[in-house]
Structure 1
Amino acid sequence: MSSDDTVLAEYPYLWSSSSQLPLEEFLTKYKPSMVQDDGTKPWIWVEKSTSEAQGLNMVTAVEEATALLKDVTVRIEEIKNDESIPLRANKKKGTKSKKEVREAVQSEATEKLKDISIRNEFVSGKWLIFAPNDKVDLVWSTIATSLISGPLASTSARLAKVATCPKHEVSNYSHVLCLYVPNVYDKEDVTKIMKILLRNHGMNLMGVKSNLYTAIGLDSKHPSGIPSTVWKNSALMPETEIKRMKEEYFTELNTTKANQADKVAAEKATTGTETKTKPKLRKKAEDDDPFASDDDESKDANEVAKEKSKAHSSSTSKKSTTKAVKGSPKDDFASDDDTGEDSDEQARKAQVAAKKATSKGKPATGGQSKRSKEDDDEEEVEDRPKRKQMRK
């Protein structure tokens, strides 16, 4: 078997049932997006069971397959350069195009490789899965966990690996994941695993590849043009069925996430642990200046005493003024009606003269002074006709 498909017992990036770390801790510690290959750690492995014994004729199988691959590569190059083979087929003449001739040789080589594998009991292989760097950790954790304790644990799959990061940065790098199966030519078995990968994990599958193909260096870029996988997805299941199973997985996943979110919200509401806005801290009252001196304090005390003394003096002055205003005599002439007898003219004149003298001696305020003046004027007006009558 190729070194890429061989697990070393003392390899530090291998988890098995005999490992000291639990699988969950192993997957957390060794993430493919964080481990960089320096030439000694190209893969991270998870093993469900020990590797099964390979056929005793594995070496023979590799030798035969290598020779076949070499012959096919030469034949494909000859077809390419043979001018007698037209680029387009001609049904009337019964000639085939270069493409048709090339595909016939490649198909025949595929059958011969299958025969070599079965005859030498070298039939193991793997499902191929690719994941971008930003999703590889989740994809790898899903596959590894399923293999040990999930849906894949009940299948014939026994081993999984994922590529670490390349030594030198590569743009848009995709990690390859391999899920190993005992017999790639057992169509029923590989289809069963395929359904789990699609329906239970929603994986993007790239086909099933034989370990013999890996051992002889047959990949998608090989000049022979032989298909690098034993099974393509469409050869095992219709495309419509593949699409339906993946859609069911993602629909179920979204529903589960929504239910979990609702459950968490309900638990928070029940236990009263919903996040609340923290109350803002109130600012404490400013403390006295710790650096103030005793002299400053005494000055402040004296100033306060002076202010209190001024306030007391002002209050006393206001009170005395108020008392003085309240104690002033009331104007007795502000509202009295001046009446007298018309027959006694002399008495009336004396009364008017007395009132005038009194009003001149005491200042009257506001409406009282004005009213007294009006009364005097009225009396003078009343006196004038009487004087005229007396003169007559």
Structure 2
Amino acid sequence: MAIRKGAKVVRQEEMAYLSDDSSFYGDETVQKDMEERASSFKPTEWWEHAAPSLTKIASTNLASATVAKAPKLYNPYEGNPCGRQLNESVDEFLRRLPPASTPTSSRVPWIFVANPYRKAPKPNNEGELAEGPPDDDSQWAKFVVEGGNLLEELVVLKNKIEKEKAGSTKATITKALNVQRNIIVEKLLDTAVEMHCTSGKWMIFCPPEEVNDVWAVVARATVDNDLGIAAKVAPDNGEDQRPRLMCIYTKDFSDRADVTRVVQKLKELGLIETRGSKIYYKCDAYTFLGLGSKNEYQIQASLYNSGDFLGSKRPASKGKENGYFYKKKDHGDWKSMEYE
């Protein structure tokens, strides 16, 4: 065989180190030990206890990695023509039900939009569709009965006081009535909390020519989880000059932190100062009991106004008669607000 010029010729004796007699395999003791280990080696058992390599760890992590799941969305108005559906964008919803021109009807008594990130059951037949989405544990029918009993108790107390203080000055009678009225109000609010009937709303009244624009801001902020649990607006009832009512709902009227957060967001959105006056907050418990602005029981229909939260004055520790009520976390009772 020809040999390339310059190549090194390896003689046969130089290949001896590859023979079976070479120390390449170790001495007899080493070879015996290796043979014993090979004969007793159990691959399955070794794989069960073997420490995974970095490559194995990386492969396992890659295989188990999952894309972040989209949050579950909820809609108590799903399937109801008067509410936004989950499969329609906010723009589509606003085009389908513009409050300025959508006529009031039995199918659309109000126009609703829900916060899709807040779990809420569908309203039942007790009439909750007229107000904010209820909780799973809400007992509205029972509350209306017990609340009605408390109002009747107030009527009895009023008649008793007027009879006992006949001949007294009007101021004396009014003072005695206010004391009893505030006691009944405290009982009403505590009963509402106990029965999970705590939804309430900030109320905005705006001219018909502005209602579409204002509603668009509220609807988008509600869907984006920037406001409360839901919102509604009155459709066109044919009275063009009448201001439209818009309600921005919160879950719990006794949760002042959340009530404050929502009204501050409304301010940031420019929906308070542009109205030219304060806006008011009313609990749905009062609405279900029919306690309007001029109710026969002379109960203040609104729990709060925006000035209570956005003004420079702070509530004083001493309450006043028949004022705005709030729950004091440290005492657990209802106190009325008085400003310093």
TM-score, normalised by the number of residues in structure 1: 0.51
Letter in 2 for 1:14: G
Once the two structures are superposed, the pairs formed by residues 204-283 of structure 1 within 5 Å of their partners are 204=275, 206-238=279-311
Larger Rg: 1 or 2?
A: 1
Q: CA deviation at 1:78?
A: 6.3
Letter in 2 for 1:41: V
Give yes or no for the alignment of 1:146 onto 2:228.
Answer: no
Question: 2:143 aligned to 61, 65, 85, which one?
Answer: 61
Q: Which residue number corresponds to residue 68 of structure 2?
A: none
What are the superposed Cα offsets for residues 246-294 of structure 1, whole Å, 9 maximum, x if unpaired?
A: xxxxxxxxxxxxxxxxxxxxxxxxxxxxxxxxxxxxxxxxxxxxxxxxx
Give the % identical residues: 22
Once the two structures are superposed, the pairs formed by residues 301-320 of structure 1 within 5 Å of their partners are none
Give yes or no for the alignment of 1:102 onto 2:185.
Answer: no
Distance of 2:79 and 2:253 partners within structure 1: 28
Q: Which residue number corresponds to residue 202 of structure 2?
A: 127
SS of the aligned residue for 1:160 comes to strand
What are the superposed Cα offsets for residues 117-167 of structure 1, whole Å, 9 maximum, x if unpaired?
A: 122222122211111212111111111111223xxx245x1211101122x
TM-score, normalised by the number of residues in structure 2: 0.58
Distance of 1:236 and 1:219 partners within structure 2: 23
Residues 1:170 and 1:71: Cα distance change in structure 2 (over 3 Å) = farther
Q: Which residue number corresponds to residue 110 of structure 2?
A: 43
Unaligned runs of 5+ in 2: 1-74, 122-134, 315-340
**Does the CA contact (< 8 Å) of 2:77 and 2:114 recur in 1?**
no
Distance of 1:232 and 1:104 partners within structure 2: 22
Q: Which residue number corresponds to residue 202 of structure 1?
A: 271
Residues 1:66 and 1:148: Cα distance change in structure 2 (over 3 Å) = same
Q: CA deviation at 1:65?
A: 0.8
Letter in 1 for 2:92: E
Give yes or no for the alignment of 1:163 onto 2:234.
Answer: yes
**Does the CA contact (< 8 Å) of 1:109 and 1:226 recur in 2?**
no
Residues 1:56 and 1:158: Cα distance change in structure 2 (over 3 Å) = closer
Distance of 2:198 and 2:281 partners within structure 1: 12
Q: Which residue number corresponds to residue 170 of structure 2?
A: 87
Q: Which residue number corresponds to residue 81 of structure 2?
A: 12
Equivalent pairs counted in the alignment come to 220
Q: Which residue number corresponds to residue 317 of structure 1?
A: none
Q: CA deviation at 1:7?
A: 5.6
Q: Which residue number corresponds to residue 322 of structure 1?
A: none
**Does the CA contact (< 8 Å) of 1:123 and 1:182 recur in 2?**
yes
Residues 1:27 and 1:109: Cα distance change in structure 2 (over 3 Å) = same
**Does the CA contact (< 8 Å) of 1:187 and 1:236 recur in 2?**
no
Give yes or no for the alignment of 1:117 onto 2:192.
Answer: yes
Residues 1:184 and 1:57: Cα distance change in structure 2 (over 3 Å) = same
What are the superposed Cα offsets for residues 37-72 of structure 1, whole Å, 9 maximum, x if unpaired?
A: 133321011112252534254433222111112332
